[in-house]
Chain A
Amino acid sequence: MPVIWLTLIVLAISALGFFTGRRRALASADGDSRNLHSLPIYYGSNAFMKSVVPAFGLMLLWLLVQPLFIDNRVEQMIPESEIAGGANIGLVMSEVRRTADGLQNAVDAGLLDDGMARNSQSDLTDLTQRLRDAGQVVTSQITQTVLHAAQAYRALSQTSNMLMTIAVLIVAVAGAVWGTMESAKSFRARNTVEQGVLALLIAAASVAILTTIGIVLSLIFNTIEFFRLYPASEFFFLLQWAPSFSGRGGASSLGIIPLLWGTLYISLVALLVAVPVGLFAAIYLSEYAGPKMRSIAKPMLEILAGIPTIVYGLFALLTIGPILLSVFGDNGLGWMQGQRAVLTAGLAMGIMLIPFVSSLSDDIINAVPQAMRDGSYGLGATKSETIKQVVLPAALPGIVGAILLAASRAIGETMIVVLGAGAAARLSLNPFEAMTTVTAKIVSQLTGDSDFASPEALVAFALGMTLFIMTLGLNVFALYIVRKYREQYE
């Protein structure tokens, strides 16, 4: 039964539980809700909750575990000999899954009867032909093993699906009945329901933890897998990035240093644009500008922060790049070869970071107590002297924190560098050359038809791990600084 129908049926059962629970409670109180411990709606909600929550919980768990279990069973059916010539079990399994889906779709379309799809003695060529007729994507040679595995896969899936439907329905009905049976005038329904709701709230709050755990685990496992295939010392110390494109065979050089260099260089250019502009804008807005100017200029600058990064990427590639090329290219100074360069991406990223630096610095400058400024004015300092010698030194830790946060943004930025920075990894000081970054390489190694078990694809997880640790470290440090500084003046 499709999951969506099962969901609706479970909801219907629970709704029924709601009404019976409520009615039973009222009946036990002779129809007068004043005799009940809780409001009637809580008795209904109790039955509803006891039916819905376990049923959906079981369904989710089943849907998560089922593919793992079936994969495991089917994988055992495939002999070692089938996994030939560089292919791995994952590829064969995806083939099996595709064939099983094809069989199912062909049966649904009425071009294949169920018995034939199950029968392991079915003629291979005939079945393949029928699958083609049904418009299913089938690779040219389905082997007998793959077909058998696919048939087993389909049979297991169907059995499991049926078992799941039965189990979920039983749980839903049992929950509804339990909740209804409990309904009596002395039952503390409100307390029970509220405890349930509190548990749900805690579960919602734990999603943040689960996400972090998910990120860390998915990075760690794949990174360990990568280091099993590729020496860690080369990854960290090799000065060359040259993955072999065939995906297997051929020696790849996967050194992270050129990528880190590109990342840091582009981030540096971006910060050189964003920090002066953002900082001076923040100083002007918080110290000089009147309320009218502030109410116009601040939102205008913040528009820049709301623009998606893909827009900056396109702006870098199609506007900044050509302009730079016309000035520094072969027709101009002759320093630049292509539109994609460190400077192209760095400038676009700098524009993106301006509002980030300015609004954070603005908050921090505003947090400096007025008394400090007044003291400085009282000694005869001008406004700019006050700012330079009193306000800025006082705000410095916070501003450093803001810049670090901006740097972490720059390091993790993807779309601008994918479109603007180029694809070749280089260790060079020339800002007019194309370079590439950690994030851009994560994208290029994981998109396309790469085999996820090869070191060329797995390296992306190691890169992601590096990126995660770098940005996390910067953030924790920056937040620590900002928080410490805030406490100073509060």
Chain B
Amino acid sequence: MTDAAMTPPEAARPIKSLVHEDARTKKRNASERRFRAYGIGAICTGMFFLVALLAAILSSGLPAFRQAVVEVPFTLTLEQYNTAEEALLKTGIYTDYFVTSLTDTLESEGVEIEFDEKSIERLLGKVGGDLRAFYRANEDQLGAPVSFELAAASRVDRYLKGTFEREDLQGGNRFFMPEDFDLIDAMREAKLIKQVFNWNFFTGVDTGVDNPGGAGIGASVLGSFFMMLVVLVLSLPIGVGASIYLEEFAPKNRFTDFIEVNISNLAAVPSIVFGILGLAVFIQFAHLPQSAPLVGGLVLTLMTLPTIIISTRASLKAVPPSIRDAALGVGASKMQAVFHHVLPLAAPGILTGTIIGLAQALGETAPLLLIGMVGFVARYPDTFVEGFIEPNSAVPAQIYNWAARSDAVFTEKAWGGIIVLLLFLITMNTIAVILRRRFERRW
């Protein structure tokens, strides 16, 4: 008897076929699907983070570009002007005129409300001074109806945007009193308040804590611009020169190996270490002016160099050797072959790498903190040379500065600043991509 005869035939034998899945195949297929789902899940998570980040930036930052203004029709007669100019407290009289005029306007719209000049000052700033300055400059406007657009204080802005509620205010302070809410409501009802584009955010300079609404990013954009100028002027020639040497001329020896090791390591050194270098070498040792875009530019140059060298070498390497051979064949020297033939062909790639390096440098913050570009110093330089050596801020440093203050208005400005920064970065990267698409040659 054989064993085979002992086993019961057919009955217990599992059906094996491609059409019919058995339990094991089911399990394996399920694990396959699960694994695939993990992959899709991971990509979706990544996308979700990207979307959440962009949504947070846009929703919190866009309000920084809008600003509430109060539009008030106002007429000043010659007698009123004369009385005011003869009085001792001239701007006070102007404010009184304004209060009367505003009350009339509100009444004509059917809104009755009592308020005093203190309220006006809290909501609209020093209106009297503005009016006086206007009429002293334009005496011919006396007696004619003029419409004034007055920028509202930042808290008015936030109340209208819904980020500042009546409940948030406990008792009131010198910036805001509970009755001010009624005046805002009244003006809103009379359709005197409207939202306009906040140009001041682009042209203004940083302000102190008493006027958060007036803070703008303009001066620090200029600071960043001067820094990028330094980076461009220094890192492009040095980076391209170093790449040409390493790629085209360098013999294989210890010295060039050492340079290569240095470059690849510098690319991975944390940016804050470059800040320490800048502080110790440029400020403590060389006594360059603190907080100056020149020093910031020097530090960022050292940081950007590895990026530029790596991308330049890649594009030099992409130029086929036949180009060099052809140039050498017709009698060019090695230097002429490189500078007259290889370099122009590699130029689009070099430019792309440089723009990407600059974009990276533009967003860098940490080293700037160490060389002192965070103080409340942002202002417009008077001359071109001063732009390099006078203390200034930079866009990311200004954003950090705003984010570190507790006032919610500054937080909004910080998000707005991020939108500005990202717009610059997107523009630069788009130019880089277009350059690559348009000029890149496949050999």
A and B: bona fide binding partners: yes
Does A414 contact B276, Cβ atoms closer than 8 Å? no
Does A301 contact B46, Cβ atoms closer than 8 Å? yes
Does A300 contact B47, Cβ atoms closer than 8 Å? yes
Does A319 contact B56, Cβ atoms closer than 8 Å? yes
B374 to chain A, nearest CB (A): 7
Does A310 contact B242, Cβ atoms closer than 8 Å? no
Does A219 contact B276, Cβ atoms closer than 8 Å? yes
Write the chain B residue with the least CB distance to A464. Answer: B276
Q: How far is the CA of A138 from the CA of B286 in the complex (A)?
A: 23
B143: Cβ under 8 A from any A Cβ: no
B366: Cβ under 8 A from any A Cβ: yes
Known contacts A306-B359, A307-B422, A464-B273; A208 and B385 CB within 8 A of each other:
no
B265: Cβ under 8 A from any A Cβ: yes
Q: Give the chain A neighbours of B385 by CB distance below 8 A.
A: 4
Of B72-80, B95-103, B245-253, the stretch lying at the interface with chain A is: B245-253
A90 to chain B, nearest CB (A): 9
Q: Give the chain B neighbours of A276 by CB distance below 8 A.
A: 42
B369: Cβ under 8 A from any A Cβ: yes
Known contacts A218-B281, A351-B49; A461 and B276 CB within 8 A of each other:
yes
Does A205 contact B242, Cβ atoms closer than 8 Å? yes
Q: How far is the CA of A309 from the CA of B39 in the complex (A)?
A: 26
B124: Cβ under 8 A from any A Cβ: no
Does B43 contact A297, Cβ atoms closer than 8 Å? yes
Does A304 contact B50, Cβ atoms closer than 8 Å? yes
Known contacts A209-B259, A317-B403; A307 and B53 CB within 8 A of each other:
yes
A230: Cβ under 8 A from any B Cβ: no
Of A167-175, A194-202, A336-344, the stretch lying at the interface with chain B is: A194-202
Does B403 contact A419, Cβ atoms closer than 8 Å? yes
B205: Cβ under 8 A from any A Cβ: no
Write the chain A residue with the least CB distance to B33. Answer: A384
Q: How far is the CA of A233 from the CA of B177 in the complex (A)?
A: 57
Does B42 contact A284, Cβ atoms closer than 8 Å? yes
Q: Give the chain A neighbours of B262 by CB distance below 8 A.
A: 208-209, 211-212
Q: Give the chain B neighbours of A371 by CB distance below 8 A.
A: none
B60: Cβ under 8 A from any A Cβ: yes
Known contacts A315-B53, A479-B264; A467 and B277 CB within 8 A of each other:
no
Does A309 contact B266, Cβ atoms closer than 8 Å? no
B427: Cβ under 8 A from any A Cβ: no
Q: How many positions in chain A have a CB within 8 Å of any CB in the partner chain? A: 90
Of B107-115, B179-187, B411-419, the stretch lying at the interface with chain A is: B411-419
Known contacts A443-B366, A468-B273, A475-B268; A382 and B28 CB within 8 A of each other:
yes
Q: Mark A201-226, 1 if CB is under 8 A from B, else 0.
A: 11111111101101100110110000
Of A120-128, A178-186, A404-412, A424-432, the stretch lying at the interface with chain B is: A404-412
**Selected contact of A218 from candidates B34, B276, B364, B422, CB within 8 Å:** B276
Q: Give the chain A neighbours of B38 by CB distance below 8 A.
A: 280, 284
Q: How far is the CA of A308 from the CA of B403 in the complex (A)?
A: 15
Write the chain A residue with the least CB distance to B388. Answer: A4
Q: Give the chain B neighbours of A447 by CB distance below 8 A.
A: 369-370, 372, 374
**Selected contact of A207 from candidates B285, B305, B411, CB within 8 Å:** B305
Does B276 contact A442, Cβ atoms closer than 8 Å? yes
Q: Which of A447-466 contact B (CB under 8 A)?
A: 447, 452, 460-461, 464
A269 to chain B, nearest CB (A): 15
Q: How many positions in chain B have a CB within 8 Å of any CB in the partner chain? A: 89
Does A208 contact B273, Cβ atoms closer than 8 Å? no
B57: Cβ under 8 A from any A Cβ: yes
Q: Give the chain B neighbours of A13 by CB distance below 8 A.
A: none
Write the chain B residue with the least CB distance to A468. Answer: B273
Does B335 contact A467, Cβ atoms closer than 8 Å? no
B302: Cβ under 8 A from any A Cβ: yes
Q: Give the chain A neighbours of B421 by CB distance below 8 A.
A: 308, 310-311
Does B272 contact A303, Cβ atoms closer than 8 Å? no
A318: Cβ under 8 A from any B Cβ: yes
Does B268 contact A408, Cβ atoms closer than 8 Å? yes
Q: Which of B21-47 contact A (CB under 8 A)?
A: 28-29, 31-32, 34-36, 38-43, 45-47
Does A222 contact B270, Cβ atoms closer than 8 Å? no
A187: Cβ under 8 A from any B Cβ: no
Q: How far is the CA of A308 from the CA of B359 in the complex (A)?
A: 9
Q: How far is the CA of A97 from the CA of B414 in the complex (A)?
A: 36
Q: Which of B271-292 contact A (CB under 8 A)?
A: 271-277, 279-281, 284-287
A413: Cβ under 8 A from any B Cβ: yes
A136 to chain B, nearest CB (A): 15
Q: How far is the CA of A292 from the CA of B385 in the complex (A)?
A: 51
Q: Give the chain B neighbours of A472 by CB distance below 8 A.
A: 265, 268-269
B84: Cβ under 8 A from any A Cβ: no
Known contacts A288-B39, A309-B365; A354 and B273 CB within 8 A of each other:
no
**Selected contact of B35 from candidates A194, A198, A387, CB within 8 Å:** A387
B399: Cβ under 8 A from any A Cβ: yes
**Selected contact of A313 from candidates B45, B279, B403, B422, CB within 8 Å:** B403
Write the chain A residue with the least CB distance to B286. Answer: A64
Q: Which of B284-336 contact A (CB under 8 A)?
A: 284-287, 302, 305-306, 309, 333, 335
B57 to chain A, nearest CB (A): 7
Q: Which of A282-306 contact B (CB under 8 A)?
A: 283-285, 287-288, 297, 300-301, 303-304, 306
Known contacts A204-B245, A212-B266, A310-B418; A467 and B272 CB within 8 A of each other:
yes
B238: Cβ under 8 A from any A Cβ: yes
Q: Give the chain A neighbours of B372 by CB distance below 8 A.
A: 447
| A to B CB contacts below 8 Å, 9 in the list | A97-B287, A209-B259, A306-B359, A308-B363, A310-B421, A354-B49, A355-B46, A383-B32, A405-B268
Going nearest first, the 3 A-B pairs with the smallest beta carbon separation are: A412-B270, A308-B363, A284-B39
Given contacts A215-B269, A281-B43, 19 further A-B contacts (CB under 8 A): A194-B333, A200-B241, A203-B241, A204-B237, A205-B242, A205-B256, A208-B309, A211-B302, A214-B277, A280-B42, A283-B39, A312-B53, A314-B414, A317-B403, A413-B270, A414-B365, A439-B366, A447-B370, A472-B269
Taking beta carbons and an 8 Å cutoff, which residues of A are in contact with B? 4, 64, 67, 97, 190, 194, 197-198, 200-209, 211-212, 214-215, 218-219, 221-222, 276-281, 283-285, 287-288, 297, 300-301, 303-304, 306-315, 317-319, 351, 354-355, 358, 382-385, 387-388, 405, 408, 411-415, 418-419, 439, 442-443, 446-447, 452, 460-461, 464, 467-468, 471-472, 475-476, 479
